[in-house]
Amino acid sequence: MTCASFDVFDTCLTRTVCAPSEVFRLLGLQIGTKAGVVAPEAFARQFVAWRIEAERRARLHANSEEVTLEQIWIEMRGLLEVSGMALPDGPQLEMKAESDMLVGVAQVREQVASARASGKRVLFISDTYLPAVFVRRLLRRHCFAEPADHVYVSSETGLTKHTGNLFRHVIATENIPAAELHHIGDNPAADVFVPRSIGVRTTHFGAGALTGSERLLLTHLSNVTAGPRTAGRLRAARLSLANPVPSRPGIVELVNEFLGPLLAVLGRWVIRRARADGMVRLYFASRDARLLWTVCRCVVAEIDCPIDCRYLHISRRALLLASSSEVSPRDLAWLQRDFEVPSLPRLLGKLEIPFELFLPTWHRIQPAWGEEQPLATPEHWQAFWRELEKPEVHDALMETIIRKRSTANAYLGQAGLFDTAPAGFVDLGWFLSCQAALNRLRAGSGQTPLRGYFLALLQGRLGPGEAGPACALFEQAAADLPQPVSQRWLRRNHLLEHVAGIAEHASVTGYSAEGQPLFSHTEGTAHLALFAAVEGALLRYEATKGRHWSPIADDDEAAQAFLSALLDNFFDHPPAQVVAELAGVMSDSDQTRHDTEELARPYSWAEVLAAWLPGNGVAALDHRIWPEASSVVTPRFRRAIHRRSAAVQHVYHRLGLT
């Protein structure tokens, strides 16, 4: 009869910790706390070292390929005598700790059931020092093994999979040819290459390995208890659920490896801080905080928190002009932003001044002015402000300000912004311009200023006197201080807005007389389907894994370290499936949408070859909002040439040709 055999640990069963040594640490912590040691955490770390050393010594003294748990604890008791501690029931305590931290892998459980249904004999084969009777009990408890199934364990036979001898023993005992055994397991050597070398058919089970976001928790938070523990719990949650094959795997990867962890941590941080500040209501800014709003509503339901989370249809374009009171460089300071091109079409678009009202007189004083030519000197700006002060332009602009303020107030009143309840404002962040505008519009009603909660605040942000109180998980250091490596991702803030800020509607341009939001355009069917797929995947992520991020969100330093690594890794190395889903998302950094472009667009031959010319450097390609994603969608041969341009430019630089 054909046999299907399954590895046990990290195939059928997985731990809720990321490594076996974490079992030892938690067991040591439990023992140390119960014994009343002075420093249980320090004792737990020493316990791990003892347990690892005990296993090493047991293997040195063993006369077989495998050792037993009893042999390990003979050595362990000798090491524990140093601390004056005797643990005669040590093996039982360790098996209890193992049992408490194991969950079944749903995908493999389905494979076991499928093998039975097809008439195959089911076997379980494991390299482990744990007793066979204990392993069988675990497999029965988690609905893998049935009474007739054979369980082959190295601790019982003294033979291991790594040498191939345990497989030879199974083949002889079952009296089958090697080719009649099909083995499934997670270890590339012991479960795949070794059995394959003796004629066993094999299948590698790779889902038990840590994913990218789970590995980041280890590599960047290995010295924080919450890091390894969270990684293990996330893996266990992922593997314990049977996931159907997704219709859009790129969306699932985007959420599981980026948006889910990012928003789960940020959302829990926001709710924790707002709750501590006594907020009873939070307003989430569109579109940047649309998905964050979804997550935070899940969080408040999960912890039974009374904070009322509301979505706010706003934008810089809808608020900044409406919150102004006069035509002056001081009141309209938001016209001059370092990250926006100050060309006349863009400036007049922000002010909603018709070109025909402004350009004729401007061209009389600047006859050679190009349409997209920026205001580059103080003289240019002085001339611009003089033109705005001319009666016909000034009066039209003030009429626009009054109208926009009236319609904005109508919308904000319906949204509850003029209520007296303590309220906060949530956005990804940057400069506090929208919070300042909201607080200026609310100032006439006597409310206390909105308190802001942000992912990050950058240099040049408005102060508390202008914008109201605010806090952020990241606050960019002053310009005269070295910028932390952990803040490298901040230069991608506009890119983050378009990836994390996916919404079912376009940018808000203003409000109707009745206070209804108006949008720059109507989103197409493809974009609406993208949003629905992302939000649906995010809700599933929150339901199954969201709560496991609480220990990271509760520790500001851990949250900063993890999110920095997550953001840098995602932007620098975007997965191809994710890029394929996001490529068509339109991005812009200017509120008048003058610089709209796709997030990812293949590089042309002209662009690629231009990067090889002396003096150009890779700057010829870096004008894209997401160069790495554009590289992913570029055809392979062209992409290879593109990537080599950096090395060529380095040579040019050394030769003084840049």
Q: What is the pLDDT of residue 170?
A: 96
Q: What is the pLDDT of residue 196?
A: 96
DSSP structural state of residue 504:
S
637 pLDDT band, cuts 50/70/90, is confident
Q: What is the pLDDT of residue 420?
A: 87
Which residue type does 16 have? T
Structure tokens at 557: 């330093």
- Phi–psi pair at 185, nearest 5 degrees: -165, 170
Strand stretches in 173-238, DSSP E: 181-185, 201-204
The model's pLDDT over 11-29, given as tens digits with 9 standing for 90+, comes to: 999 999 888 888 999 999 9
Q: What is the pLDDT of residue 172?
A: 96
215 pLDDT band, cuts 50/70/90, is very high
DSSP structural state of residue 113:
H
d(CA 278, CA 469): 14
SS3 string, 12-37, reads: CEEECCCCHHHHHHHHHHHHHHHHCC
Minimum mean pLDDT among 4-8, 176-180, 335-339, 530-534: which range?
A: 335-339
pLDDT(308) > 70: yes
d(CA 231, CA 213): 8
Q: What is the pLDDT of residue 658?
A: 61
d(CA 504, CA 291): 10
Is residue 582 within 8 Å of 599, Cβ to Cβ?
yes
Mutual angle of helices 212-221 and 556-572, in 10-degree steps:
130
449: nearest Cα among 467, 432, 428, 433: 467
Query: How far does the chain reach from its first CA to its final CA, in angstroms?
Result: 71
Q: What is the pLDDT of residue 606?
A: 84
Q: What is the pLDDT of residue 620?
A: 46
Q: What is the pLDDT of residue 450?
A: 94
The number of helix segments (H) and strand segments (E) in the chain equals 29, 16
Minimum mean pLDDT among 465-474, 516-525, 613-622: which range?
A: 613-622
Structure tokens at 400: 């626009």
Query: Average pLDDT of the chain?
Result: 90
d(CA 232, CA 211): 11
The percent of residues above 90 in pLDDT, for the chain, comes to 64
- 159-186: average pLDDT: 96
d(CA 276, CA 422): 12
CA atoms within 13 A on the CB side of 373: 12
Is residue 387 within 8 Å of 361, Cβ to Cβ?
yes
SS3 (DSSP) at 607: helix
d(CA 502, CA 374): 30
pLDDT(615) > 70: no
- 596-618: average pLDDT: 79
Q: What is the pLDDT of residue 552?
A: 95
d(CA 348, CA 488): 33
Q: What is the pLDDT of residue 68?
A: 96
Better-predicted residue by pLDDT, 561 or 480: 561
Return all residues near 61 (Cβ < 8 A) that are at least 6 apart: 71, 75
d(CA 151, CA 166): 12
- Phi–psi pair at 454, nearest 5 degrees: -135, 155
332: nearest Cα among 440, 450, 478, 476: 440
- 112-132: average pLDDT: 96
d(CA 540, CA 535): 9
- 290-303: average pLDDT: 97
Cross-strand pairs, 597: 587
d(CA 89, CA 92): 5
Structure tokens at 612: 């090889």
445 pLDDT band, cuts 50/70/90, is low
The model's pLDDT over 31-89, given as tens digits with 9 standing for 90+, comes to: 888 888 888 889 999 999 999 999 999 999 999 999 999 999 999 998 888 767 777 88
d(CA 248, CA 531): 12
pLDDT(619) > 60: no
pLDDT(423) > 90: yes
SS3 string, 72-100, reads: HHHHHHHHHHHHCCCCCCHHHHHHHHHHH
Q: What is the pLDDT of residue 604?
A: 86
615 to each of 195, 319, 343, 623, how far by Cα in Å? 56, 42, 27, 15
d(CA 408, CA 143): 60
Which residue type does 242 have? A
- 82-108: average pLDDT: 89
- The total of other beta-carbon atoms located within 10 Å of residue 103's CB is 17
Q: What is the pTM of this model?
A: 0.90
Is residue 474 within 8 Å of 487, Cβ to Cβ?
yes
Better-predicted residue by pLDDT, 398 or 644: 398
pLDDT(485) > 80: no
Minimum mean pLDDT among 444-453, 502-511, 560-569, 613-622: which range?
A: 613-622
Q: What is the pLDDT of residue 212?
A: 92
Is residue 191 within 8 Å of 204, Cβ to Cβ?
yes
224: nearest Cα among 570, 565, 489: 565
54: nearest Cα among 35, 29, 81, 34: 81
pLDDT(621) > 50: no
The percent of residues above 70 in pLDDT, for the chain, comes to 97
Q: What is the pLDDT of residue 622?
A: 58
